[in-house]
Copies of this chain bind each other. A is one copy, B any other.
Amino acid sequence: MSVEAARAKFQSYLTQKGLRVTSQRLAIFDAAFAQKEHFTAEELLDHARAIDDSVSRATVYRTLPIMTESALLREVDIGKGEKFYFPSSGSTQVAQVVCVDCDKIFEISAPFMEWYGNTVSSKLGLRPVSQRLQVSAQCIAFHDRGACPNRTK
């Protein structure tokens, strides 16, 4: 899905839910879809403010759930205290591989996940809503040399 299509989807989602299309929400959308890596709420705030400096932290936190519910963003919680977000590719059959050294998040296709969620849930009398597979891994380069080539922090 192109950024333009996603932006249109965002606006129609807002309208359809009786929510308003505000300049702040659009700035937050634009900032999110300009990112190339996973980002945090705080990073999104910085980028959104570069577009519209009236955007507040509160509005970012109030807008993120809207974008997540509308499937425009995927929320990734790697258990590091803060959550990460990423423009959704559409498919929910995606797993994350997280480097334990540099915390870089790789998104990978995991086509069997949906089947597995269905199988397992139905055994328990449950209906699957969503599933996530997360692999913690270590750069081989890190293991061999003690330094992670992706390290940025």
Contacts and interface: CB of A to CB of B under 8 A. Distances in A.
Per assembly, the copies of the chain total 2
A117 to B, nearest CB: 5
Interface string A48-86: 000000000000000000000000000101010001000
A139 B116 contact: no
Given A131-B135, A134-B132, A141 B121 contact: no
Interface in A112-146: 112-113, 116-117, 120-121, 123-141, 143
17 contacts: A77-B77, A79-B83, A95-B120, A97-B126, A100-B129, A106-B126, A108-B123, A110-B120, A116-B133, A116-B135, A121-B135, A125-B140, A126-B137, A127-B140, A128-B137, A130-B135, A131-B134
Interface of A: 75, 77, 79, 83, 95, 97, 99-100, 106, 108, 110, 112-113, 116-117, 120-121, 123-141, 143
